[in-house]
Structure 1
Amino acid sequence: MAKNTVKQDEDLQRHSKLEITTRLLGYLKPYKFKATWIVLLMIFVMICGILNPYLLKIAIDNNITNGDIKGLLIIGVILLILNILAAIATRIRIISMSSITNNILINIREELYTHIQKLSFSFFDNRPVGKILARVIGDVNALQELFTNSITSFIPELLSLVCVTIMMFFLNFKLALASIIILPILFISMFAVETISRKRWDAYRKKRSNLNAFTHEDFAGIKVVQAFANEDHTSKTFDKLIKDLMGTFVKTVRLNDLFWPLVELSWGVGTIVVFLVGVRLINDGSITVGTLIAFTMYIGMFWRPIMNISNFYNTLISNFSAAERIFDILDIEPEIVNIKDAVKMPKIKGNVEFKNVTFSYEEGNPVLNDISFKVSPGENIALVGATGAGKTTITSLLSRFYDTEIGEVLIDGRNIKKVDLESLRSQMGIMLQDTFLFSATIKENIRYGKLDATDEEVIAAAKAVNAHDFIMNMEKGYDTEVNERGSRLSLGQRQLISFARAMLANPRILILDEATSNIDTFTEKLVQQGIKKLLRGRTSFVIAHRLSTIRDCDRIMVIDDGMIKESGTHEELLSQRGIYFNLYMSQYKFLNEGA
């Protein structure tokens, strides 16, 4: 059962803020030296900014009061040099930080993509493709601002806040105390807003994922939509998903917008308190006018970092859900993995054995029940039976797309659970009914079976399965673009290209799962000779409902209710007058009636 559909919100495992923050910061480790250099530049810029008010205080209290023009000019030159150097350091910092951020996003995206490729079929069976794409693209992109602000905003602003606070207390303890008296109320208010905001951002990203999944599914099935004239229906569904997305976004942004009024209100109240206390202290003779002016500048420098830190905190909260969605997938362990001491599979000879194999996709509902059989090297085995009988499951276990619950699958006497996955699958070829072609040329699609194959090898493989003639009749021959999923080609032509791809790969074990079902009778005659060449010298498993295509197989196994009910050659099974006989006669009668 699917974990979620295109219209259903995803269930995510919740992570603590500390855990998410720690994992995100972990991506900065490879760039710690460059980040340290950036922090040093920011500290320099911060020191320059902090010195401005203090030098101004000296200029007012000492140079202007005493008429020291020379001293005033010296301070002016110092201020000019400091601010020019600060501007240069800021420019270098921005360029360096952009480089780090982009590299981190590339690393996260590659890690996520690589991890998803290793996940088992059950992961893809339970999720719409659009929702997976939303994690790889949209959620990773959402982290860009977070990483940029973490170094360019949070760290320098925090340092600046600490230094400004120290300078304020250095100038006057009472004024400094008056400046921060409002902070506890601000922090409590922001925490309350954050608690609700994170839930709303999580809801927003789920709705966006739903929209992405529906759009991907709708366009992938556009031929069906147009064939049944259901454009209005899908448009209404799309509009509803858009409104759901917009509704959650507006609710979230409205709450997030409270951050700014809270900070600005606190800033204003804090400034008023400082002025009231400052005027009283001037009247008492406790401070000078220069001190109050310098302190007024420090008030701005005190609250501006708080404003920027609040902005970073706001960004952090809004992107926590994106990070959580990424980590949700990264925390999924592949069901099929190499064991610790997995060995490389040597060149496969072709012995296959199933020993008392039982398997189920859902607990308590076995698809295979105590299956046992042996296959010799080079033997061609046909699997027949009703839909859902377990034929494809047998080949999936052989390819180790799933692991057996009970029993063993052996190739050349080796338990396939104990061999390296890549070394196993690289020696196997699988062709399915729904042939998948990439958005590339015909040549590139055939070469996918052997990436280092020469053009001559590609052409030879195509000729072997009788695909060469129709390819050469295409506008650009082997360099013809086939479009996504091979939409420019007929079903039969796609199958012929898949045969050529398998021929080029030269697998030791070959699996044909309804691979000829989409080929018309004329095309089938052309490809039969190619199939014979393909099967020659290698162990093969052929699944077919069209029984005429498997008459020449060495052995036919009839699968029914998860068990092998009959096994033998075509003639032997017909003579038994059992399940296979009834299937064959039913098709023969149907064809005669059709004729």
Structure 2
Amino acid sequence: MKKQPSTERKLFMYAWKFKNSILIGLVCLIIAVALELTGPFIAKRLIDQHIVGIENQWYQVEQSDRYTVEYKGNLYKRKDRLDQNDDASQPAAIVQVKRAYYFVNQEVPMQGQRSLQGDQLTIKSPDKTVTAKAERLSLSTLYQFFKPEQRAIYWLLGIYVVLLLIAAVFKFSHTFILQRSSNRIIRKMRDDLFAHLQRLPMQYYVNQPAGKVVARVTNDTEAIKELYVRVLATFVTSFFYMAGIYVALFLLNVKLALMCLALIPVLYGWMKLYKYLGGKYNTVVRSTVSEMNGNINEAIQGMPIIQAFRQEKQTSNEFEELNERHFTYQRKLVRLSALTSFNLVNVLRNIAFVGFIWYFGSASLGVEGLVTVGVLYAFVDYLNRLFQPITDLVNQLPQLEVARVSAGRVFEVLDEHGESVETRELERYKGHIAFDHVSFAYEKDNYILKDLSFEVKAGQTAAFVGHTGSGKSSVMNLLFRFYDPQLGKITIDGKPIKDWSRQQVRSHMGIVLQDPFIFSGTILSNVTMNDSSISREMAVSSLKAVGADRFIEKLPDGYDSPVKEKGDSLSMGQRQLIAFARALAFDPAVLILDEATANIDTETEQLIQEALEVLKKGRTTLVIAHRLSTIQQAEQIFVLNHGTMVEQGTHHELIAEGGHYYQMYRMQQKGLKAQAM
């Protein structure tokens, strides 16, 4: 048996369908990250070379240019600004001691511990100790030494602002493209899920409460939407930011970058732990939400019965039990998230900064002075930036697990074996129906129909009668291919219906149920079913043909009168007439009436009997009936008992036999006489 892909793999496969737009979004993200991460490098250059860079060796020169500074009648130029054309002579230095700057008219070491006694400066380096006369620079004089660097400072700041603006454009593009792609993925998933639900066999819906199915189409896909819209974008953004920051850290200092890599296994281990615990808790939570939806749906549908039998407390207790389970596991998730979120990140951040202080304080800021102020600033900036994506990742873990569990539930439905949809038009068949030694069971070996054989010729009206559980409705379920028999075959015009798709078999069939379903909309939309091939004129004509115009024309909006879901504003007889008109409008070759007159009053039954004569013309009609008075004109009557055919013939033939049919008919006649008295 082929192993099913993991949930993560299936989510990736859905995303892969929109790989082009996602790739463009990721490219925009990479550019935005790269541009934003240039900031600390620019700041490092600005600080080291243009702000604290004046603390350097200077040389007296003859020629004036943009980098020279006049001091006491002489021109001086920084050592790193000298070029081949400069005639450098007397060396000098600018040295910072505490918060003041001093001019030293000789060459001195730039590294080492500094102290000042009067105007005597002492610099102790690992190699030697140097003492020199130092002159404190006033603020205005110091500004002259900074002045050559102003132009470069402005240029660097301007470049950084421009880079940030460009990065903002790419970041907007990345966010917009990824979120648009995420919404398209969810739209595709919902379409696929709903289409798949229509391909699932009827047995699936027998075993699944409607509320649970609805929860998977709405609640679970909405949770997955958050995965693609928010979680995916956050994880991808955080990954690229962290990768970019680590690259920058390695460029600045390999040793510190290696120390910072220790965060990765800690973060990975926590994510694995959260996936295990969060997945377990969320599975219960999502399952409970589905059960709550099913419970609420059932309670609303059955509210008249609940109130009539005073079961409000019992129903409330059942819901409260589910609600309590949901609350308990949500509390566990909240506790788990509280341990994560900012707490975990703050601990990691503090540990990282302790390591940072130890490294720079004890190892790099000694007498050797190996680290510049600019490098120090860049490290602090990058470390702060590193923990922002980590915070984003950790904070998205709860939503990630909700989405992952929800995706598992959605893919569980999509993995159910569905049937192919074939809507290619079949030529209208005549309606010659035959069951050939058919046996059928809803559950294994519990056969409802047993070796059933019969034949209904095209254009005939055949009726099926029998006590409850005799298999009458199962015959119709098989004919409509809601189910397929385990044994035997069913043919229409001599062709096995299994050779056609379920949609093709039903394309020339119509059905009227005992309790017809009315959709929210109008009376006309319930007849046309929004099928463009059924015109308004055809729908109105069908309604008139079955006599529904008698009550419709009394309504304020006539045929466009709105009806609520299930048609609660209409009487049972009115709903039944609309169902008849619906069947007539689609002009089926085979018409099935599943106890269509069982709940109809006598007056309405007369209307339906008249409508039946119209409906029967030119089509095969199969009738399931409890009222034997409604089927006396049928060409054939089949009497079923526990899934087997016990009698067949016309009404008069069966009465004459004095068997099952006769006994049923006599009992009904006695009941009618008793009601009349």
Shorter-chain TM band: over 0.9
In structure 1, the partner of 2:487 is 406
User: Secondary structure of 2:331's match?
Assistant: helix
Name the residue aligned to 2:372: 288
Q: Is it true that 1:75 corresponds to 2:140 in the alignment?
A: no
Q: Which residue of 2 aligns with 1:497?
A: 578
**Matched residue type, 1:308:** D
Matched, 1:47 2:131: no
Aligned residue pairs, count? 577
Cα displacement (A) at 1:508? 0.2
**Who is 2:347 aligned against?**
265
Paired position in structure 2 for 1:34: 21
Is the counterpart of residue 309 in structure 1 residue 393 in structure 2?
yes
Q: Give the structure, 1 or 2, with the largest relative contact order (CA under 8 Å, sep 6 or more).
A: 1
What pairs up with 1:212-231 in 2 under 5 angstroms? Answer: 212-231=293-312
1:324 to 408, 417, 420: 408
Structure 1: runs of 5 or more not aligned:
1-14
Q: Equivalent of 1:558, from 610, 623, 639?
A: 639
Name the residue aligned to 2:290: 209
Secondary structure at 1:506 match in 2: coil
Q: Indicate how the Cα distance of structure 1 residues 458 and 338 shifts in structure 2: closer, same or farther if over 3 A, else same.
A: closer
Distance 1:343 1:403, change over 3 A: farther
Secondary structure at the aligned position of 2:490 is classed as: strand
Match of 2:210 among 114, 120, 129: 129
Aligned to 1:140: 221
Does the aligned pair in 2 maintain the 1:360–1:368 contact within 8 Å? yes
5+ residue gaps, structure 2, are 55-145
Q: Is residue 351 of structure 1 aligned with residue 432 of structure 2?
A: yes
The within-5 A match list for 1:445-594 is 445-448=526-529, 451-594=532-675
Within the candidate set 49, 57, 64, 1:62 is matched to 49
CA contact (8 A) 2:179 2:228 kept: no
CA 343–474 in structure 1, closer or farther in 2 if over 3 Å, else same? closer
TM-superposition CA deviations, 1:296-351 (whole Å, max 9, x none): 111122222222233344432221110001001000013x5569xx9864321111
Residues 1:350 and 1:369: Cα distance change in structure 2 (over 3 Å) = same
Indicate which of 351, 356, 363 corresponds to 1:274: 356
The whole-number CA distance in structure 2 between the counterparts of 1:182 and 1:400 is 60
Greater fraction helix = 1
Mapped partners of 1:187, 1:26: distance in 2? 23
Instruction: Give me the whole-angstrom Cα distance separating, in 2, the residues matched to 1:345 and 1:580.
Output: 38
What's the C-alpha RMSD, in Å, of the aligned pairs? Answer: 1.9
Cα distance in 2 for residues equivalent to 1:190 and 1:489: 57
- Give the deviation of 1:193 after TM superposition: 2.9
Would the aligned equivalents of 1:146 and 1:312 in 2 still touch at CA under 8 Å? no
CA shift, 1:421, in A, is 2.4
The 2-side partners of 1:35 and 1:449 are apart by 37
Distance 2:607 2:509 in 1: 24
Once the two structures are overlaid, the 10-residue window that deviates more, 470-479 or 576-585, is 470-479
Residue aligning to 1:192: 273
Out of 383-392 and 22-31, give the one that drifted further. 22-31
Alpha-carbon displacement from aligned partner over 1:206-238 (angstroms, at most 9, x marks no partner):
111111111112112222233334434433433
Matched, 1:444 2:528: no
Aligned to 2:248: 167
Deviation at 1:374? 1.4
Q: Equivalent pairs: percent with the same residue?
A: 34
CA shift digits 1:429-451 (9 cap, x unpaired)? 11111110000111111112854
| CA distance 1:303–1:427, change in 2 (3 Å) | same
Q: CA deviation at 1:54?
A: 0.8
Alignment of 1:416-427 (within 5 A): 416-427=497-508
Alpha-carbon distance in structure 2 between the residues aligned to 1:526 and 1:176: 88
Match of 1:370 among 451, 460, 463: 451
SS of match in other structure, 1:257 = helix
2:383 is matched with which residue: 285, 299, 302? 299
Deviation string for 1:517-545 (max 9, x for gaps)?
A: 12100111122111011012211110001
Q: Pick the structure with more strand per residue.
A: 2
TM-score (norm: length of structure 2)? 0.82
Partner of 2:69: none
Deviation of residue 182 (structure 1)? 4.5
Q: Are the counterparts in 2 of residues 343 and 418 from structure 1 also a CA contact under 8 Å?
A: no
Aligned-partner Cα distance in 2 for 1:132–1:584: 43
| Distance in 1 separating the partners of 2:606 and 2:281 | 61
In 2, the alpha carbon distance for the partners of 1:481 and 1:226 equals 28
Question: Contact 2:567–2:575 (CA<8 Å) still a contact in 1?
Answer: yes
1:106 matched to 2:190? The reply is no
> Structure 2: how far apart are the matches of 1:130 and 1:88?
44
Secondary structure of 2:588's match? coil
> Counterparts of 2:159 and 2:402 in 1: how far apart (Å)?
42
State the shift of 1:111 in Å. 0.8
The AA in structure 2 aligned to 1:289 is V
Does the 8 Å CA contact 2:591/2:619 hold for their aligned counterparts? yes
